[in-house]
Amino acid sequence: MSPFALTRRRALLGGVGLLAYSGTAYWSITERIMRAEVPLYGETVAFGGGGSREIVPVGRVDAVVPGTRVLADRIQTAALLEEEKAWLASCAPWVQTRLAAGDDILRSALLDLRALSVDLKVSVAGWTDRWRYAWPRDVSFVAAALARIGHHDAAADQLRWLRGVQGRDGGFEARYDPSTRRTPDDRVAQLDGTGWVVWGAAQIAAQAPERATELLSPLTPLLVRSCTKLLDSLDEATALPPASSDYWEIVEDTLTLGTAAAVLAGLRSGAVVLPLVGEYALAEQARAASDTLAAQVRKHFGPNGYPRLLGGSASDAAVTFLVAPIGPTEADVEVLTAIDRAQTSMLRPAGGLAPGASWKNDGISWTPTTALFAAAWAANGYPTKAEILLTWLGDHRTEAGSYPEKVLHDGRPAAVAPLAWTASLVVIATHELVRG
């Protein structure tokens, strides 16, 4: 073999070795990305007396009375257990029926919901520091869940708090510190929050029709400002809202389905609730605008299967916003098909769903996303699909029974627990199943 051939062979072998090493390194990195590790911040949050709440450390399930959100071995434990029992007993008849039948999935959601809302100025997303804030979206879903379990006044109180922090232009920040009523950071404002609060008001009205005007009248300024904001956001030429950060909470320069669908839900809801507070003209404007926007969403997002981004192709959980319990009760078959396709594309190793098909490939399931699909299937006549997802959520609670924000690739609960948005959606989905 000539020196040239030998040198060339060595170079080739070296190249193969380099490629093999690079390939191994690539797959090693990819494997780590697909199996991201996030710790669980706590088993649950439990009451300790005197209005206090405490995060129960991981592995310390013994600190809580089993099946409750009450700390054990405290002076007030017995009294706190009675308060919890009385709160559950004050829920709507359908709740009592489910609890009597042993629905532990619902019970956990109710207890999580109570732990993050009762006796607080406003509900918070979670009790861990970075989540102990009020997101207009989460608060609106809490209001919807409270209304469905018969706690109508508590539901209206949630929106009354939002009335106090709403901007003069009808907009909302991404989140608020309940103590200061100010935003805790420089996250950009989110247009979808304005849509969600009007939807939350409509949920209250639907669950308490005989008291709707009484409950919503104090919210008239909130509803008027919100619907005016939503109307003003629509482009005169396209009738679409502008690009805005949505529930992904990243800065967007392209309109997302999450924003468009939330604005649409807000306008549709405005057409329902505004007449209840005497705002007939604005209600008609909201109705007309919602019809136009619905057509534009269908036109611009529909051909690509209702993707996350206008002009994009990747599915997103926001497609569930286009059907009940958020959108209209008469579901479009094409939208239901898109929801089914989205669920498949967003499936993660543990069996839950990512926020979208274009979300980072970290192997993590998100419980609020999974619960959104459960609620959509339950409200649109697919109980088996809903029950499968609800069972999955129930199987991936913490040892103390709370719903975590995330579930890792191998099924371990992770991040904050409980999470108000997930708890609210489990309640809503279960109620939709009961309504049949």
* Chain segment 48-78, per-residue pLDDT in tens: 988 899 999 999 999 999 999 999 999 999 9
pLDDT at 31: 55
The confidence band for 215, taking pLDDT boundaries of 50, 70 and 90, is very high
Record the pTM: 0.93
pLDDT at 17: 42
Instruction: Kindly state the average pLDDT of the residues 406-410.
Output: 98
Q: With the C-alpha atoms ordered 70, 99, 207, 418, is the resulting torsion angle positive or negative? A: positive
d(CA 286, CA 271): 5
What are 177-206's pLDDT values in tens digits? 999 999 999 999 999 999 999 999 999 999
Question: What percent of the chain has pLDDT above 90?
Answer: 91
User: Is the distance from CB of 229 to CB of 241 less than 8 angstroms?
Assistant: no
* Least confident residue range of 24-38, 139-153, 259-273: 24-38
d(CA 74, CA 63): 10
User: Is the distance from CB of 70 to CB of 80 less than 8 angstroms?
Assistant: yes
Question: What percent of the chain has pLDDT above 70?
Answer: 92
Tokens 């939208």 belong to residue? 335
**Angle subtended at Cα 82 by Cα 402 and Cα 108, rounded to the nearest 5 degrees:** 15
**Angle subtended at Cα 254 by Cα 253 and Cα 255, rounded to the nearest 5 degrees:** 125
What is the number of helices (H) and of strands (E) in the chain?
Answer: 15, 5
Q: With the C-alpha atoms ordered 215, 217, 222, 228, is the resulting torsion angle positive or negative? A: positive
- Confidence check: pLDDT of 29 > 80: no
d(CA 47, CA 84): 10
The confidence band for 27, taking pLDDT boundaries of 50, 70 and 90, is very low
pLDDT at 50: 86
- Confidence check: pLDDT of 2 > 90: no
48: its two tokens:
């300790």
Q: Just give the CATH number of 123-313.
A: 1.50.10.10
pLDDT at 407: 98
Higher pLDDT, 137 or 33: 137
User: Is the distance from CB of 366 to CB of 320 less than 8 angstroms?
Assistant: no
**Which residue, 320, 302, 300, 318, is CA-closest to 310?**
300
Instruction: Kindly state the average pLDDT of the residues 325-338.
Output: 96
3-class state of residue 343 by DSSP: helix
Instruction: Kindly state the average pLDDT of the residues 375-400.
Output: 98
The confidence band for 32, taking pLDDT boundaries of 50, 70 and 90, is low
Tokens 């991404």 belong to residue? 174
Higher pLDDT, 24 or 211: 211
pLDDT at 20: 41
